Amino acid sequence: MQLKLTGHHVELTDALRSAVEKKLERISRHFDQLIDMHVVLTVEKLEQKAEATLHVSGANLHAVAVDANMYAAIDALADKLDRAVKKHKEKSQDVHASQARTIARS
């Protein structure tokens, strides 16, 4: 999986970069068909925002998390993406299972 990390009004330190990589590596453990991910970290006044677009086979998943702390926003983003990837995986497995049942009945 390719990870592209961008900062908007924030300097991307090694600590932020490693935090993003560490938190988002669990997503690749759940779903191995990840193509690439683009993460944007933004600071707007008192809000810290983390957003990501994840390109997987068959879909593009997008999630946004806002918090007062950047690390908390990254944690929330990882949770949201994890749920979205699991949901996408379940949907694709359900489609394949229903197709297999249809073929078996024929």
pLDDT in tens, 40-57: 999 998 999 999 999 988
Q: How far is CA 80 from the centre of its chain?
A: 7
Domains annotated on the chain, with CATH: 2-105 (3.30.160.100)
Is a pLDDT exceeding 70 seen at residue 99? no
- For residue 32, give the DSSP letter: S
> Scanning the structure block, which residue is given the tokens 């995986």?
89
Phi-psi region of 60 (alpha: psi -120 to 50; beta: other; left: phi over 0): beta
Instruction: Identify the residue with better confidence: 18 or 34.
Output: 18
What is the C-alpha radius of gyration for the chain, rounded to an integer number of angstroms?
16
Q: Which is nearest to 58 in space by CA: 28, 25, 34, 84?
A: 34
Local confidence band at 76 (pLDDT 50, 70, 90 cut-offs): very high
